[in-house]
Amino acid sequence: MIPELGHYALVLAFALALAQSSVPLIGVRNGDAALMDVARSAALAQFVCVAAAFAALTTSYVTSDFSVENVAENSHSAMPLIYKFTSVWGNHEGSMLLWVLILALFGALLALFGRNIPSTLRASVLAVQSWIATAFYLFILLTSNPFARLVRPPIEGRDLNPILQDLGLAIHPPLLYLGFVGFSMSFSFAVAALLIGRIDAAWARWVRPWTLAAWIFLTLGIAMGSYWAYYELGWGGWWFWDPVENASLMPWLAGTAFLHSALVMEKREALKVWTILLAILTFSLSLIGTFLVRSGVLTSVHAFATDPTRGVFILAILVLFIGGSLALFAWRAPMLKQGGLFAPISREGALVFNNLFLTTACATVFVGTLYPLALEALTGAKISVGAPFFNLTFWPLIVPVLLAVPFGPLLAWKRGDLVAAAQRLIGAAVLAVIAIIITFLMRGQPVLAPLGIGLAVFVIAGALTDIAERTGLFRTSPGNALRRAVGLPRSAWGAAFAHMGLGLMLIGVIGESQWNTERIVAMKVGDMLALGGYELSFDGAEQRDGPNYRELVTTFTVSRDGRVIGTMAPAKRTFAHREMSTTEAALKARGLSQIYLSLGDISADGSVAVRAYYKPLVLLIWFGALVMAMGGALSLSDRRLRIGAPRPARSKAKAALAPAE
């Protein structure tokens, strides 16, 4: 009964989405407030329905109802409860349900808290949002029904793919989807603005919190996914330039560019056309990402094998939305009025520079990801484009951005003074040079690594310089500076933290990629292994039983200069239901570095293949991403961006004043 209720709720959501797609737009056209208000109620009702459908599927999983095909395929009664929850989205159908749930959530949030936004714009945005929802409900109902029943239910389920039986599955997909789907809000705002034909600084301010929220989630989602792949796949890599990873990186790059160009639009009313285009492109890339992951057209380390009809359906959605929105853009964008003038050397100029390089870098990732598809379609040749391609194209385009990051915030709007900015950055530059010299003396070759560390230090010190300048840290008394620091807009702190996070991450990337030590050896109990200044001794191995697997757990003692500093226990699990085994890597943090151990296969003579890595500074990669996301969150909490639910009267006044700023 419960799955049928879930299915019914989903059909109901689809019907509501159809109404929400059309009625509010008629209201906007005729100036009928009642019809426009349909959007709000429909958005809320839609969310309730999808949430009910999602709850129904979750119930089926938790109660192990194997008469539901989806549950029978992906669950097992012996699985721990947490994985019964997470396996709801550990499969195609369920993850699409999560996708629409989040889409409906964003719609409902806008309906609830978007009271400061003029009703025509709000109604249009919700209508556009509902177009997307309609397409995806249809997709689920027609090709991927998660509630399909089995005529003869099996007694036991087929179990969840062991790789996914991990806490990572609980966190990574929801975060990633909050990011992917969150960009639908920027898209809907852009399309709605094109439909209405009014785009100004206020628009940029209204769309900013939604974009920022999506960006924070996407940042965290990518970082989490990277860490999950790092410890779960057992080969110690954190980024493989794999199509599925690129699919999430592209919207992130475009979204980052969009956040920066929307700033110009908000402050100076310039770059309107470009900003709207970026909003459309960012979500288009999210859709392409969904297509790449869901259609199985690309072979990937994280590939989801899927049904081609689904691929065709998503491709149709893709063509419809991307093509449609770009056509609308081509038709309406020329009507937008030119914005404020600015000199090339100015805050605006710096942000244009950022946008130019970020979007070009995004384009090279796009080419590298889709070139194999295109080539195969055209010539039939099968190729793979791997890390060497991306290292050669992506980094040369990102380094200029990193170099420019510290300058941007120090330049004035309209007309900046590059020399003055450079003078203020002398401190940061000196620190960078010191960092280069120290790293070079400590590590020597290759020269690129110390230079990279220097660049990272420059970015971090540059961000701190910006804060020091704004608070007058070295020009006034400490008390005064502290008062100013408290009074500084949160968005300024946010920008500084986000940029610092970037620098920290760069240090981690360089440490991991340049100074990583790798040993792959066959070891027997009693053997020793030297690794990056540590000694690992293989103490023993034993078989254990888990809830739905058996595992071989090995123990290693880690010591340094004869002093024992701990034990590590990498394991190998065998899941009987799927005849699969997984590698459970053991990690030991030493400061910001990590020792990484994972097991390979066991030979006939009883020796175990061991992969051991010493990864200097590797934790900074994810810590940097966290700091970036925290910067985003600080910026989101800025007063200027409050969504404004509690004080509609004041927000309206603010909105009316907005164009004058």
CA distance 260 to 632: 12
Of 199, 397, 481, 531, the one binding another protein (CB under 8 A) is: 397
In angstroms, give the least distance from the CB of 90 to another protein: 6
Q: Which is closer to another protein, CB of 374 or CB of 434?
A: 374
Q: Which is closer to another protein, CB of 242 or CB of 466?
A: 242
**Which segment (85-93, 200-208, 624-632, 650-658) binds another protein by CB under 8 A?**
85-93
CA distance 341 to 460: 31
Our finding on whether 446 is near another protein (CB under 8 A) is: no
In angstroms, give the least distance from the CB of 516 to another protein: 9
Q: Which is closer to another protein, CB of 85 or CB of 235?
A: 235
What the block records as the tokens of 648 is 């509609």
CA distance 8 to 6: 5
Of 34, 377, 604, 660, the one binding another protein (CB under 8 A) is: 604
In angstroms, give the least distance from the CB of 364 to another protein: 6
Our finding on whether 173 is near another protein (CB under 8 A) is: no
In angstroms, give the least distance from the CB of 393 to another protein: 5
Our finding on whether 488 is near another protein (CB under 8 A) is: no
**Which segment (17-25, 54-62, 358-366, 487-495) binds another protein by CB under 8 A?**
358-366
Non-local CB neighbours of 379 within 8 Å, separated by 6+ positions: none
**Which segment (31-39, 390-398, 430-438, 633-641) binds another protein by CB under 8 A?**
390-398
In angstroms, give the least distance from the CB of 314 to another protein: 14
Our finding on whether 603 is near another protein (CB under 8 A) is: yes
Of 46, 60, 91, 184, the one binding another protein (CB under 8 A) is: 91
Our finding on whether 611 is near another protein (CB under 8 A) is: yes
In angstroms, give the least distance from the CB of 210 to another protein: 28
Of 112, 328, 580, 658, the one binding another protein (CB under 8 A) is: 580
**Which segment (159-167, 249-257, 327-335, 471-479) binds another protein by CB under 8 A?**
159-167
In angstroms, give the least distance from the CB of 154 to another protein: 14
Name which of residues 325 to 354 contact another protein (CB under 8 A).
Answer: 338, 341-344, 352
In angstroms, give the least distance from the CB of 349 to another protein: 9
Our finding on whether 369 is near another protein (CB under 8 A) is: no
Q: Which helix (H) or strand (E) holds 38?
A: helix 33-62
Q: At what angle do helices 448-471 and 387-404 cross, to 10 degrees?
A: 30
* 3-class secondary-structure state, position 91: coil
Give the CA-trace dihedral at 321, 322, 323, 329, to 10 degrees. 100
CA distance 256 to 480: 34
Of 3, 90, 406, 631, the one binding another protein (CB under 8 A) is: 90
Q: Which is closer to another protein, CB of 365 or CB of 457?
A: 365
Strands 593-602 and 528-531: unpaired
Q: Which is closer to another protein, CB of 203 or CB of 613?
A: 613
Of 312, 327, 330, 371, the one binding another protein (CB under 8 A) is: 371
CA distance 546 to 78: 10
CA dist 511 → 179, 399, 534 (Å) = 28, 17, 17
**DSSP for 422-487, written as a single string:** HHHTHHHHHHHHHHHHHHHHHH-S-THHHHHHHHHHHHHHHHHHHHHHHHTTTTS-HHHHHHHHHH
Of 120, 226, 393, 594, the one binding another protein (CB under 8 A) is: 393
Our finding on whether 520 is near another protein (CB under 8 A) is: yes
Write the binding mask 108 to 147 for another protein: x where contact by CB under 8 A, - elsewhere. ----------------------------------------
Our finding on whether 586 is near another protein (CB under 8 A) is: no
* 3-class secondary-structure state, position 594: strand
Are the C-beta atoms of 608 and 487 separated by less than 8 Å? no
CA distance 31 to 596: 63
Our finding on whether 256 is near another protein (CB under 8 A) is: no
Q: Which helix (H) or strand (E) holds 264?
A: helix 243-268
Our finding on whether 528 is near another protein (CB under 8 A) is: no
| Plot region of 159 (φ>0 → left; ψ -120 to 50 → alpha; else → beta) | left
Any idea how long the chain is?
Answer: 661
Our finding on whether 387 is near another protein (CB under 8 A) is: yes
CA distance 418 to 423: 9
Q: Which is closer to another protein, CB of 392 or CB of 434?
A: 392
**Which segment (156-164, 213-221, 484-492, 584-592) binds another protein by CB under 8 A?**
156-164
Give the CA-trace dihedral at 233, 234, 239, 241, to 10 degrees. -60
In angstroms, give the least distance from the CB of 43 to another protein: 31
Of 20, 226, 261, 360, the one binding another protein (CB under 8 A) is: 360
Total residues at interface with another protein (CB under 8 A): 72
CA distance 400 to 211: 25
**Which segment (17-25, 255-263, 387-395, 534-542) binds another protein by CB under 8 A?**
387-395
Q: Which is closer to another protein, CB of 338 or CB of 445?
A: 338
Are the C-beta atoms of 83 and 160 separated by less than 8 Å? yes
In angstroms, give the least distance from the CB of 247 to another protein: 15
What the block records as the tokens of 166 is 């991990």
**Which segment (438-446, 483-491, 516-524, 640-648) binds another protein by CB under 8 A?**
516-524
**DSSP for 178-206, written as a single string:** HHHHHHHHHHHHHHHHHHHT---HHHHHH
Of 52, 62, 363, 525, the one binding another protein (CB under 8 A) is: 363
CA distance 90 to 49: 21
Name which of residues 546 to 575 contact another protein (CB under 8 A).
Answer: 572
Our finding on whether 519 is near another protein (CB under 8 A) is: no
- Of 251, 227, 256, nearest to 239 by C-alpha is 227
What the block records as the tokens of 320 is 């419809």
* 3-class secondary-structure state, position 39: helix
- Count of beta carbons in the 10 Å neighbourhood of residue 645: 12
Our finding on whether 530 is near another protein (CB under 8 A) is: no
Name which of residues 230 to 249 contact another protein (CB under 8 A).
Answer: 233-235, 237, 240
Our finding on whether 480 is near another protein (CB under 8 A) is: no
Our finding on whether 106 is near another protein (CB under 8 A) is: no
Are the C-beta atoms of 199 and 276 separated by less than 8 Å? yes
Phi and psi at residue 643, in whole multiples of 5°? Answer: -70, -20
Q: Which is closer to another protein, CB of 321 or CB of 394?
A: 394
| Placement of tokens 């965290």 in the chain | 220
In angstroms, give the least distance from the CB of 215 to another protein: 23
Name which of residues 274 to 303 contact another protein (CB under 8 A).
Answer: 296, 299-303
Q: Which helix (H) or strand (E) holds 152?
A: none
